[in-house]
Amino acid sequence: MDQEKLAFINPATGNQFGEVAMSTPEEVKQAVDDMRGSFPAWSGKSVRERARILKRFQKLLIEHRDEISTVVSQGTGKNRQDSLIELFISVDMLAQNRANAAKWLKRRRVFSGLYFTKKSYVEHRPYGAAAIISPWNYPLLISLTPMFAALLAGNTVVLKTSEITPAVGVLIEKLFNSLPELAPFVRVVHGDGRVGAALINSKPDYIFMTGSTVTGKRIMQAAAENLTPITLELGSKDAAIVLEDADIDSAARWIAWGAHFNSGQSCVAVERVYVVESRYDEFVRAAVKYSEKISSGFTLETDSPYFMGPITDPRQIQIIEDHVKEAVEKGARILCGGKEQGPFYKPMVMVDVNHSMKLMREETFGPVLPIMKVRDEEEAIRLANDSSFGLFASIYTKDHARAKRVADRINASSIIFNDSLAQFAIPTLPFGGVKDSGIGTSHGREGLLQFTRPHSYAVGGSPPAWDIATVMRELGNYKLGVAIMGVVYGTTLKQKWETFAQLFQKERKTALPEIKPEPTTTK
């Protein structure tokens, strides 16, 4: 029987520009086995050597920039500059991780406490063959970023990209295969959720998945079968808060950008805005002004006049339409934008929204900006936290101390002041969700260490007679144990003295209730 094929479809034009055979479960299992087999060779290299090899990959990415941005644009429908942004951030992630990996992964000497004759160390050991499963919205960036961290940490990688953007998976495979020093340590498998499930069932040593909350939970259940450690970077419903002392024009400009960039198909997109009532009208006017300036369409020219491309996954259009329709039925108004021909939208701004609407509670993942009027900062915080998600948020105010106070009360793991989205692109800042937005971390030191487990060891010769490890192993040293514990950890001078002094007393007087001694065992 012929192997099932995945067509490369440009969502903007509907044109097919290639295809790839779906990986069979046997091929997926073989990929994991191969990567487990090549793991000792890769993890056996020093961090610096791995970083040196990945530097060649960095060079390759820059050399192939035009081919890469073309394939990403064809696969997603986004403009070439936005595809270049994916590549740009990927390269930055790699460069910063390479520069810091040796420092972040360095073995640490830790205090040995009373066991001072030993030297104690913690190392960060890679897991083995890591499975990375990625989504379609940033198919290059969100595949490469965890791959770089996994590889630098010493893991080998099996990647599965989204079935919606299979051309990008093939591109990544081609790029890795073109470097003989790196090719043996990376495999790419192609296919839909069934191939993803086969990957999880093939018992990789670590799973890093980015995608929807529904799929994330399903994968976590499957991972539990083998107790495979897992990171999940999932969906969200990110809030923006605009306070009365904000620069309203700038806030509206960057919130509109944050809501509509990549046609709203970003996990960190602004999906709901809370504006204090004294600045509400002004903000709404400015948000409409900036949203109406945004054009949508598709071209492969590098100087595209189109800010927004199409909705990449046709299934997502149903969700956007459903959220908008339900909100309108419940009283919301559309101030601008809406669905156009095919998979295109004009950026939408909606008002008179509330938390009974899916538009304010579920991930819309489209170019829709719902704005809600709030009494004050307090109400804005309450509503921002009234969500099952917690990935990202933004706060607009000129007072940074106030922004920090508000940020401290928002239950999301990343927050940016007076800007949207950009924090995702700061490679040294850890990124990850709380609540239904996921578990675990990517990016930065924490993201790199995520691909390692701590391995500890204590170095020393045979314990000398006076070593605590020897003393407490010898019977008859109860009183000495008490004295050492009391002198070292006693919380008052009196307690320290008493515990020491009991070494020389016959019997200790105790104020604790008497405990009946158990019957003595006799042989």
* Per annotation, catalytic residue among 86, 233, 363, 377: 233
Q: How far is the CB of 355 from ligand NAD (least distance, A)?
A: 20
Does residue 267 carry a catalytic annotation?
Answer: yes
Question: Is residue 414 a contact residue for ligand NAD (CB under 6 A)?
Answer: no
Strands 452-459 and 119-126: antiparallel
* Among 11, 77, 128, 135, interactor with ligand NAD by CB under 6 A: 135
Stretch that binds ligand NAD, among 113-121, 157-165, 376-384, 493-501 (CB under 6 A): 157-165
Q: By CB under 6 A, name the one of 22, 61, 68, 219 that touches ligand NAD.
A: 219
What is the Cα–Cα distance from 429 to 450, expressed in whole angstroms?
14
b/e burial code for range 114-140 (CB count within 10 A of at least 16 → b): eeebbebeeebbbbbbbbbbbbbbbbb
By CB under 6 A, residue 192 contacts ligand NAD: yes
x/- binding map, residues 368-397, to ligand NAD, per CB under 6 A? -----------------------x------
Residue 255 vs 267, nearer CB to ligand NAD: 267
Per-position DSSP letters for 12-60, written without gaps between them? TT--EEEEEEPPPHHHHHHHHHHHHHHHHHHHTS-HHHHHHHHHHHHHH
Residue whose structure tokens are 């087999």: 37
Q: How far apart are the two ends of the chain, measured CA to CA in Å?
A: 74
Q: Give the pairing type, strands 368-374 and 270-276.
A: parallel
149 binds ligand NAD (CB under 6 A): no
Our finding on whether 139 is near ligand NAD (CB under 6 A) is no
| 258-292 core/surface letters (b: 16 or more CB in 10 A; e: else) | bbbbbbbbbbbbbbbbbbbeebbeebbebbbebbe
> Please, which residue, 69 or 137, has the CB nearer to ligand NAD?
137
Pairing of strands 238-242, 345-351: unpaired
Residues 228, 194 contacting (CB under 8 angstroms): no
Binding of ligand NAD by 210 (CB under 6 A): yes
Binding piece for ligand NAD, criterion CB under 6 A, among 12-20, 78-86, 213-221, 339-347? 213-221
Is 141 a binding residue for ligand NAD by CB under 6 A? The answer is no
Does the footprint of ligand NAD cover residue 363 (CB under 6 A)?
yes
Q: Which of 86, 163, 267, 271 is catalytic?
A: 267
β-strand partners of 20: 6
Under the criterion CB under 6 A, does residue 154 sit at the interface with ligand NAD? no
Asked if 53 and 181 touch (Cβ cutoff 8 Å), the reply is yes
Q: Is 258 in the site for ligand NAD (CB under 6 A)?
A: no
**Is 440 an interacting residue with respect to ligand NAD (CB under 6 A)?**
no
Q: How far is the CB of 428 from ligand NAD (least distance, A)?
A: 16
| 336 belongs to the catalytic site | no
Interface positions with ligand NAD (CB under 6 A): 133-137, 142, 160, 162-163, 192-193, 196-197, 200, 210-212, 215, 218-219, 233-236, 267, 313, 363, 365, 391, 433, 438
Active site residues: 233, 267
